[in-house]
Amino acid sequence: MRTPISSPDGTPISRFTFGTMQFGGRADAKASREMFDACLEAGINHFDTAYVYTDGASETLLGEFAAPLRDRLVIATKAAYKGGSGRKNILQAFDTSRQRLDMDSVDILYLHRFDPETPLEETYDTLAELKQQSKIRHIGVSNHAAWQVMKSVAVAAECGLTIDILQPMYNLVKRQAEVELLPMAKDQGILVAPYSPLGGGLLTGKYGGIDDKSTVGRLAEDSRYHARYGQAWMWTAANALSEVAKREGVSAATLAVAWVAAHPNKVSPILSARSAEQLVPSLEAINYTLSDEMYQEITALSPTPAPATDRLEEV
- Integer-rounded Cα Rg, in Å, for the chain is 19
Please pick, among 53, 110, 124, 229, the residue that the annotation labels catalytic: 53
Collapse the DSSP code of 118 into the 3-class scheme (helix H, G, I; strand E, B; otherwise coil) and give the result.
coil
CB count, 10 Å around CB of 173? 23
Q: In terms of Cα–Cα distance, which of 112, 153, 105 is closest to 131?
A: 105
Contact 295, 255 (CB under 8 A): no
Q: Please write down the HEC assignment for all residues of 166-205.
A: EECECECCECHHHCCHHHHHHHHCCEECCECCCHHHHHHC
By DSSP bridging, strand 136-142 and strand 17-19 are: unpaired
Active site residue 53: yes
End-to-end CA distance of the chain: 33
Distance of alpha carbon 285 from its chain centroid, rounded?
16
Q: Which amino acids are annotated catalytic?
A: 53
